[in-house]
Amino acid sequence: MDPLILLFVGVTVIVGCILILKLHPVLALLFAAIIVGVFTGENNLVQFAQIKGMSAAETLDLVNQPVGQRIAAAFGNTASKIGILIAMAAIIGTCLLRSGAADKIIRAALKLFGEKGAPVAFLTSGFTLAIPVFFDTVFYLLVPLSKAMTLRSGKNYLFYITAVVAGGAMAHSLVPPTPGPLFVAAEMGVDMGVMMVGGLVVGMFTITGGYLYAAWANRKWTIPLRDSSDVTISELEDLMNKEDRHLPALWLSLMPIILPILLISGNTITKAILSEGLLFSLFSFFGNPNIALTLAAVVALGTLAWNERDRTKLKQYIVESLKGAGMIILITSMGGAFGGTLQQTGIGARIQELASVYHIAILPLAFFVTVLMRTAQGSATVAMITSVGILGGFASMGDLAFHPVYLALVIGCGSKPIPWMNDSGFWVVCTMSGMTETETLKTFSSVLTIMGFIGLFVIIILAKLFPLI
């Protein structure tokens, strides 16, 4: 069956189950994955295996796998990548709130920026933190601060949340050493320094547009701070009323956020300049995201334990945070299962075929191909990796009228539109922020789509004015 038809069927099933039948997203994603998997024919699977470079034996094994096994494999693959990170980040977020560390950081930020400057602080912090760290992790770390700031100021929750999203999401796809732009730059032979500078320049334009949209959305819609699975509003208010002397020190409050960033970015840097030695070994171990987030969780737990002497309550807080993390892991992994079944239909090759038929300028072509891949399977990183496989050859042809960095950057911007129910980030933002699916579509999905198109227009102008060749 044509992969485009399967894509349409999968989208229809998910939207219908969630919006019409009011089923839980986990069930909607599972049903869509099963239906797409059932109608994915042998030819689709063989084509997918060829694209992946599988051997004849591996191809035969894939073709003979039952649909349920293929879905479970994709589910497990996603869970293995994000399971520990989500669990540890959930503990960090809970500990930041319960210990008063989040409130301590917000009080310091208010003194430095003032209440009016808080959205800019969240925007720039999200962009900076997402350079070495995945967007999901950045959001986990900053959403407790957004909640604390909302309780402190009494307003602008949507502004703060959308500013965090706008900053973190763009760095995730534009600036190495985040995996997506790192891979694209390497595949196209673009110098990492050039890619970083280009990503920062384009990123400034896009997050400015994101900030303006966040300000507009905050005036148009009133989305209140709601109870979440790990903490209620009344409990947050009690935490916010503590005297400053009862809160942890600022350096200790910041440590669970700063420590993983230092370790993960240090690992990236040492791998780039070293190939062996003690420093290389230390950062290879402690700079692994799973280890780094676990260490940060230990620090956060220690801070909470120092502040909360009742061990029964301490255990209760951790259990509550892990319950919330479990649901996020389940939804995210099921989204990965659905995305995996879509990839096995051969959607990538189908889009490449269409791209060769319709002759349009290379930058818009690269952008819209990546948009289709992002919309089809949900992951921005996968969309970038797939698109550079389709379009990367243009960078080595030698007849581009501009530096290939612009092609790499436009693929990064194309990975932003259109995030919806098959995107793990969608469910992370929806669940952690307390917004409904409809509210998340109006805010998270809209701001990312707008920033992606702003990036396209900025890159086209820059390539025209400064071709760099």
Digit-by-digit pLDDT tens for the chain (469 residues) are 888 888 788 878 887 887 788 888 789 889 989 999 999 988 888 888 887 788 888 899 989 999 999 999 989 987 887 788 778 878 887 888 788 787 777 677 767 777 788 898 888 888 877 775 668 767 877 787 788 788 777 788 999 999 999 998 998 889 876 767 877 887 788 887 788 889 999 999 999 999 999 999 999 988 887 765 555 666 656 656 667 777 888 888 888 878 887 887 788 788 878 778 888 889 889 988 889 889 989 998 998 888 777 778 888 888 888 887 888 788 778 877 887 888 788 876 676 566 556 545 788 988 988 898 788 777 787 778 777 766 766 665 556 788 889 999 999 999 999 888 878 788 888 888 888 888 899 999 999 999 999 999 999 999 999 988 7
Give dist(CA 417, CA 414) in Å, integer.
6
Query: Is 223 a member of any domain?
Result: no
282 and 361 inside one domain:
no
Q: Which residues contact 108 (CB under 8 A, 6 or more apart)?
A: 250
Give dist(CA 355, CA 346) in Å, integer.
15
Query: Is 225 a member of any domain?
Result: no
Last residue of a domain, one of 326, 348, 381: 326
Provide the greatest CA pair distance for the chain. Answer: 68
Task: Report pTM.
Answer: 0.68
34 and 171 inside one domain:
no
Number of C-beta neighbours around residue 379 at 10 A: 25
How far is the CA of 121 from the CAs of 286, 306, 445, in angstroms? 28, 29, 22
Last residue of a domain, one of 326, 352, 378: 326
Structural domain tally of the chain?
2
Last residue of a domain, one of 307, 326, 345: 326
96 and 129 inside one domain:
yes
306 and 336 inside one domain:
no
Look at the block and give the residue holding tokens 């349409």.
Answer: 8
